[in-house]
Chains A and B, each alone.
Chain A
Amino acid sequence: MKLPKLKTGVAWAAVALIAIGVLIAIGAQAQPALAQTATPQPPNQTNETCLACHTNRSETFAFASGETKSINVDNAALDQSVHGSHNPNGSVACADCHGTAPHFQGKAPSLRAFVINISKRCANCHSSEGSGQADSVHSRAQAAGNLNAATCVDCHGSHTIAKPGQPRAAISETCGQCHQQIFAVYKESVHGAALLEQSNPDVPTCINCHGVHDIQNPTTATFRLNSPQLCASCHADKALMSKYGISTEVFNTYVSDFHGSTTTLFERQAPDQPVNKAVCYDCHGVHDIRAPDDPKSSVMKDNLLATCRKCHPDAAANFPTAWMSHYIPSPDKNSLVYYVDQFYQVFIPGVLGFMLIIVFTDIFRRVSDRIIKPNGKAGKGARP
């Protein structure tokens, strides 16, 4: 009986080994999921798994703060979004954004905290946008404790995320959701009106000046000193401006005058220092920029003195014409400046030419004296 006993033992050992092997194999499959969360997971948490519970549901989830949120997901809308099945990289799984079950309860004390937490996951795929956003005014405001500061989801949406900037007006309207007063002013401006009423493809939306994800504080000295370049990026573009009959000399004429030379020097040499010399928006307005022939424009002739007085409180009626209004002096515009310049164009070479003629004749005499010895006298002794 000894041998059969032994055989039985080997058989059991073989069974045990196979069983262990199978268990290891199963365990290996489950390992990544287990690594992510301490709680046991179903081996394949597909969208179907989630939607099995989250479709056609009327229940709400209650946060500790007392806020509630519907647990229902409109899968058709989700599938139409950029993250749906049209996505060339394949649709994004629920778990990619939400993590795997058992959900977020307990982690987010409020609906807002829940949104903020989810937004942090966007950077897992959108890393450059994420790192840009992490350096933005919104992220800094949030780090300082203002949970209202915009996250990815606030601008892009959640389940129904569409391709951004379509239509273009949607960009500014999105910012306007929080920045209502600024949006109301912008809407009336030459840029805003063209965008919102005529779907103009060229005028700046909010992000053209402020940036997209890495939006910086626009009240810093650096932003102020860079702002003329910002305006010039369109207003010195000949092809773009010719569409609207706008002069591209606005930037050159600004930079060559007192205000522009000073801000340009600071921008290059000390970009973090506050400078009180006017930049484009000091005269033209910030969000309320209007065409210069608009009666409400701050640079309209009748309004110009008031605009100058913002910085030059004692300015009198003639003072605004000390600024040449971006015109290059010509016989028709700023003729005094033109003729003074013309005078010196002639006077400087005239005076210097006269001086040089005399100097050269003197050199000629001195050199020739050394070569041609004067009659009867030693050439060398004639001159020191």
Chain B
Amino acid sequence: MTSKAKNPATSFSRFDLVQRVQHVILIVAFTGLALTGLPQKFALESWAQAMIAAMGGIEAIRVIHRVLATVLMVEVVYHGGEITYKLFVLRLRPTMLPVLRDLIDLVQKVLYNLRLRQSPPSMGRYNFEEKLEYWALVWGMAIMILTGFLMWNPISSTRWLSGEFIPAARIAHGSEAVLAALAIIVWHMYSVHLRRFNPSMWTGKLSRHEMQEDHALELESLESGKAPAPIPPDVLRRRLRVFIPIAVIISGLLLTGIVWFVTFEQTAITTVPAYNIQVVPPELETITTPQPTRQP
């Protein structure tokens, strides 16, 4: 396990600045969406009503929720472009893809935890814990965007789907939100805050010791000097000539899609429904102020 590299580095780069900024946006949007969304799911509970009142009322939190949802969708588009760039232009290894090895790591880790195994599994750049969280987020995001669209545009959606999809979307959106919030509290909080604070999303780096524990295989690979050779500039240029126009078109379409999503329909009238009720017959409506009269 111990590497024999000549000059062992003391810290290892995990996340560049852009990734860290994305994470901060994700924190803000996710927290905001949970704070404005969960009280809507539990609107009849007193704690939810206190939160709604504190944030300016139900109509206000609906607007906040939709603004944050839009921010998050834009971030998803950016992230998609970034991954495509890394995979197809930089040709980096798809280290976040789940593989069979992750399942083995999981079993070995549990066995190790139960003291049924001497050493923990050596894991790669992203271990099964991180992959689980990342793909849970991808799954959650897909469900939330899909069901969010149905609820945001119920009239348009029911042109194509049975009306039942709208309340079903409401259940799925709210349940998925509960799952996401609890998963963050249990999984994310434990693995990067409680167990040991993982500073890499803030500093961008992990110490050698932290790498050894969570990403031993990646550490070994880095220290053995197996880092991919830099791409020659002309190759990079050629790849970018293909990537940039495609990326511009696709992200342009996706961003247009987001605008379309959020402005698709006017679901309801903005006024209170009108009633034309004749309260009393016209002859009784006339105001008959007594005329000053002379005494007989």
Give the interface of A toward B (CB within 8 A): 62, 64-65, 105-106, 109-110, 112-113, 144-148, 178-182, 219, 221, 224, 255-258, 261-262, 264-266, 268-270, 274-276, 278, 282, 286-287, 310-316, 318-324, 329, 334-337, 340-341, 344, 347-348, 351-352, 355-359, 361-362, 364-366, 368, 372, 384
Contact = CB atoms under 8 A, between A and B. Distances in A.
3 nearest CB pairs, A to B: A321-B163, A344-B175, A361-B113
Interface of B: 40, 43-44, 49, 52-53, 57-58, 106, 109-110, 112-115, 129, 136, 154-155, 158-159, 161-168, 170-172, 175-176, 178-179, 182-183, 186-187, 190-191, 195-196, 209, 213, 265-273, 275, 277-281, 284-296
24 contacts: A64-B294, A109-B293, A110-B290, A147-B288, A148-B285, A181-B281, A265-B52, A269-B52, A269-B53, A275-B272, A312-B269, A314-B266, A321-B163, A322-B163, A336-B168, A337-B168, A340-B172, A348-B179, A348-B182, A351-B183, A355-B183, A355-B186, A361-B110, A384-B196
A356 B194 CA distance: 14
A109 B291 contact: yes
A257 B44 CA distance: 11
Contact of B278 (A62, A182, A351): A182
Contact of A262 (B58, B110, B179): B58
Contacts of B43: 261, 264-265
Given A146-B285, A179-B280, A337-B168, 5 more contacts: A106-B295, A256-B44, A329-B167, A361-B114, A384-B209
Given A64-B293, A344-B172, A359 B186 contact: yes
A146 B287 contact: yes
A352 B182 contact: yes
A318 B179 contact: no
A181 B278 contact: yes
A146 B287 CA distance: 4
Contacts of B280: 148, 178-180
Contacts of A145: 287-289
Contacts of A320: 163
Contact of A322 (B164, B270, B277, B291): B164
A316 B162 CA distance: 11
B170 A341 contact: no
Contacts of B162: 318, 321, 336
Contacts of A65: 290-291, 293
A312 B268 contact: yes
Nearest to B283: A148
Given A361-B113, A365-B115, A344 B281 contact: no
B251 to A, nearest CB: 30
Contacts of B278: 181-182
Contacts, number: 203
A384 B206 CA distance: 14
B295 A64 contact: yes
A319 B158 CA distance: 5
A258 B41 CA distance: 10
A372 to B, nearest CB: 8
A364 B114 contact: yes
Contacts of A314: 155, 265-266
B288 A146 contact: yes
A341 B41 CA distance: 13
A329 B167 CA distance: 10
Contacts of B129: 358
B113 A276 contact: no
Given A262-B58, A352-B186, A362-B113, A257 B158 contact: no
A310 B275 CA distance: 11
B165 to A, nearest CB: 7
Given A312-B268, A324-B167, A276 B273 contact: yes
A262 B167 CA distance: 15
A321 B164 CA distance: 6
A359 to B, nearest CB: 5
Contacts of B296: 62, 64, 105
A206 B275 CA distance: 18
Contacts of A286: 275, 277
B165 A178 contact: no
A109 B175 contact: no
Nearest to B279: A179
B194 to A, nearest CB: 9
A347 to B, nearest CB: 7
B25 to A, nearest CB: 25
B183 A365 contact: no
Contact of B183 (A219, A276, A352, A366): A352
